[in-house]
Structure 1
Amino acid sequence: MLLAVFTDLHANREALEACLAHAKERQADQFAFLGDLVGYGADPGWVLDTVMAYVNRGAYVLMGNHDLGVLQDDRKDMNPNARLVVEWTREQLDEGQRNFIRDLPMQFEIEQCLFVHANAWAPERWEYVDGAMEAARSMRATNAAITFCGHVHTPSLYHMNHSGKVGSFTPISDLSVPLSRLRRWLAQPGSVGQPRDGNPAACYALFDTQQLELTFFRVPYDTETASQKVLAAGLPASLAQRLIHGG
Structure 2
Amino acid sequence: MRIALLADIHGNLEALEACLAHAAAQGAERLVFLGDLVGYGADPGAVVARVRALDAVTLRGNHDEAALHGPVGFSTLAAEAMRWTQGRLDAAAKQYLANLPYTHEEEDRLYTHADGSDPAEWRYVTDAREARRSLEATAARLTFCGHTHLPALFGLTATEKLLHHRPMDDLMLPLLQPRRWLGVIGAVGQPRDGNPAACYGLLDTTRAECGWMRVPYDIEGAARKIRAAGLPEALAARLFEGR
TM-score tier after normalising by the smaller chain length: over 0.9
Identify unmatched segments of 5+ residues in structure 1: none
- Could you report, residue by residue, the CA deviation over 1:121-141 in whole angstroms, capped at 9, with x for unpaired residues? 110010110101100110101
Q: Tell me, yes or no, if structure 1 residue 161 matches structure 2 residue 157.
A: yes
Q: CA deviation at 1:163?
A: 2.2
Tell me, in whole angstroms, the C-alpha distance in 2 between the residues paired with 1:162 and 1:38: 38
Q: CA deviation at 1:82?
A: 1.0
Q: Tell me, yes or no, if structure 1 residue 221 matches structure 2 residue 217.
A: yes
Q: CA deviation at 1:207?
A: 0.5
5 Å matches for 1:203-214? 203-214=199-210
Q: Which residue of 1 aligns with 2:15?
A: 15
5 Å matches for 1:80-91? 80-91=76-87
Q: CA deviation at 1:42?
A: 0.3
Q: Which residue of 1 aligns with 2:69?
A: 72
Tell me, in whole angstroms, the C-alpha distance in 1 between the residues paired with 2:21 and 2:219: 16
Q: Which residue of 1 aligns with 2:193?
A: 197
Tell me, in whole angstroms, the C-alpha distance in 1 between the residues paired with 2:18 and 2:72: 33
Letter in 2 for 1:35: G
- Could you report, residue by residue, the CA deviation over 1:48-99 in whole angstroms, capped at 9, with x for unpaired residues? 0011011xx2x100000000001114x3311111111111111111111000
Helix, strand or coil for the counterpart of 1:88? Answer: helix
Q: Which residue of 1 aligns with 2:118?
A: 122
5 Å matches for 1:122-201? 122-201=118-197
TM-score (norm 1): 0.97
Q: CA deviation at 1:159?
A: 0.3
5 Å matches for 1:42-57? 42-54=42-54, 57=55
Letter in 1 for 2:169: S
Tell me, in whole angstroms, the C-alpha distance in 2 between the residues paired with 1:127 and 1:25: 33
Residues 66, 72 of structure 2: 8 Å contact kept: no
Tell me, in whole angstroms, the C-alpha distance in 1 between the residues paired with 2:153 and 2:77: 29
Percent identity (aligned): 48
Moved more, 165-174 or 38-47: 165-174
Q: Which residue of 2 aligns with 1:95?
A: 91
Name the count of aligned residue pairs.
243
Q: Which residue of 1 aligns with 2:5?
A: 5
**Runs of 4 or more consecutive aligned structure 1 residues displaced over 2 Å after TM superposition:** none
Helix, strand or coil for the counterpart of 1:92? Answer: coil
Q: CA deviation at 1:10?
A: 0.3
Letter in 2 for 1:62: L
Tell me, in whole angstroms, the C-alpha distance in 1 between the residues paired with 2:220 and 2:176: 40
Q: CA RMSD in A?
A: 0.8
Tell me, in whole angstroms, the C-alpha distance in 1 between the residues paired with 2:156 and 2:193: 24
